[in-house]
Structure 1
Amino acid sequence: MKSHERLLLENKAWAEEKKLREPDFFERLAADQKPEFLWIGCADSRVPADIIVNAEPGEIFAHRNIANQVIATDFNSLSVIQYAVQVLKVQHIIVCGHYNCGGVKAALDRQRPDLVLLNKWLMHIKDIYRMHRAEIDALDTSVEKANRLVELNVIEQVRRLSHTSIVQTAWKNDQRPMLHGWVYGLDDGVLQQLVTLPAGSDVDVIYQQYDVDGF
């Protein structure tokens, strides 16, 4: 059996088991989605959002990219954030990184000439390394350096979320969402909280948006 065929068979088995346990599950799921959480995670295949928090389908609206980035010029992630915040009305946004992240480790090294597009994506993580270079370089091992950059990257992405007009408008009008920065351990399967920003948290004035009246 080919690997992709196994996935199709596993899907059928899962769907049948789900219907046996909850006969109306897919009818309820198809009717609407009302997730409480937006998950911005890494595309790494070892960090599936729903599985590691034991969530059911419909509980988490998810966006994943290399090294869980929130980039102001990335219309893909911004569209997801806008839909989650303004349409789905999520209460929480979670940025989740993970230790031993390949994207973060690559950002600590020189650019590879064979990965032109990836180099541009990783440039944003290199900027975070540059801002915290003294702290990271003072660590003893390459593993410690990479893992600290993983943490700093998560914290920076949460801050970037707070800089968006999408989040600031929702904070002002609806007092939501709460922003969270988590990191996942591949070696133990445990999540750790790094930072939390409740609605209305302080935002550096240079990132604040003007109100409609100009103030």
Structure 2
Amino acid sequence: MGNQALEKSFNEILEGNKDWVDFVSKDESGRFQQLAKGQSPEILWIGCADSRVPANEITGRKPGEVFVHRNIANMCVHSDMSMLSVLDYAVNVLKIKHIIVAGHYGCGGVAASLSRKQFGIIDNWLCHIKDVYRLHSQEIDSIKDEEKRVDRLVELNVKEQVFNLCTTSIVQNAWKNGQDLAVHGMVINIGTGELVDQNCTFDSNNDLDNVFAYQ
């Protein structure tokens, strides 16, 4: 590698892995040997790709206890085959019991969606968040403080993504088949580490409009 700065940072990654290997080798609980045989998490975490919001640490869970999918602004888009594939595996194979859609205050993706700037290919992804703004534009536009506008859209976006998730055929069929499954919306306060419950939990399709609820 010709670039010394890149080589140095890459070597730090390898050294960090050596520290982790040393930690695993000295662990006497047997949990890592058990993890090598398979996983049985109860939680699917759909979060933002932001580097500051690690699912395991925020929820106080150990490796193997949280199945994770992350993308820009924690979106649940019905045509996103990556998200749907993770969801299908989590619900139908792992039989997870809780899905957490987790946004975070100060989300750059949400902030970008409120601007008229172009950022590149991500603009097509941000259109999904702009649609959430369109649904709640009157409320968002009434907020004068820019930071508070972004944070309110973060909250509203989480609620909309929870709804999107609940209307997928995967979640609908799980409920139709009597599977115990709850979908929750949370927002992370990065400064405090708190998970703020958005009070939009669904554990059946009873609270969905009839057009979305499978028979």
TM norm structure 2: 0.92
Cα deviation, residue 111, structure 1:
4.1
Kindly indicate whether residue 168 of structure 2 is the aligned counterpart of residue 164 of structure 1. Answer: yes
Partner of 2:14: 8
Cα deviation, residue 25, structure 1:
2.8
How far apart, in 2, do the equivalents of 1:201 and 1:63 lie? Answer: 26
Query: 8 Å contact 2:105–2:187 — kept in the other structure?
Result: yes
How far apart, in 1, do the equivalents of 2:17 and 2:146 lie? Answer: 40
The amino acid across from 1:12 in the alignment is: K
Query: 8 Å contact 1:175–1:200 — kept in the other structure?
Result: no
Cα deviation, residue 52, structure 1:
1.7
How far apart, in 2, do the equivalents of 1:189 and 1:93 lie? Answer: 19
How far apart, in 2, do the equivalents of 1:23 and 1:55 lie? Answer: 16
**Are residues 56 and 21 of structure 1, via their aligned partners in 2, closer, same or farther at CA, if it must alter by over 3 Å?**
same
Question: What is the SS of the residue equivalent to 1:27?
Answer: helix
Partner of 1:32: 38
Instruction: Structure 2 unaligned segments of length 5 or more: list them.
Output: 1-6
How far apart, in 2, do the equivalents of 1:129 and 1:161 lie? Answer: 18
How far apart, in 1, do the equivalents of 2:101 and 2:171 lie? Answer: 14
Question: What is the SS of the residue equivalent to 1:31?
Answer: coil
Decide which of 82, 88, 91 is 2:88's aligned counterpart: 82
How far apart, in 2, do the equivalents of 1:120 and 1:7 lie? Answer: 33
The amino acid across from 1:139 in the alignment is: I
The amino acid across from 1:205 in the alignment is: N
Cα deviation, residue 23, structure 1:
5.6
The amino acid across from 1:27 in the alignment is: Q
Cα RMSD after superposing both structures? 1.4
Partner of 1:93: 99
Which deviates more from structure 2 when the two are superposed, residues 160-169 or residues 47-56? Answer: 47-56
Decide which of 50, 56, 59 is 2:56's aligned counterpart: 50
User: CA deviation digits over 1:144-202, x for unaligned, max 9?
Assistant: 10000000000000000111110011012133210000000122111110021123442
Superposed, 1:1-215 pairs within 5 Å as: 2-22=8-28, 24-112=30-118, 114-115=119-120, 117-194=121-198, 195-209=200-214, 211=215
How far apart, in 2, do the equivalents of 1:163 and 1:84 lie? Answer: 16
Count of matched residue pairs = 208
Which deviates more from structure 2 when the two are superposed, residues 76-85 or residues 199-208? Answer: 199-208
How far apart, in 1, do the equivalents of 2:170 and 2:97 lie? Answer: 13
| Ranges of 4+ aligned residues in structure 1 off by more than 4 Å | none
Query: 8 Å contact 1:18–1:25 — kept in the other structure?
Result: no
TM norm structure 1: 0.92
Query: 8 Å contact 2:166–2:205 — kept in the other structure?
Result: no
How far apart, in 2, do the equivalents of 1:118 and 1:183 lie? Answer: 22
How far apart, in 2, do the equivalents of 1:171 and 1:6 lie? Answer: 46
Question: What is the SS of the residue equivalent to 2:177?
Answer: helix
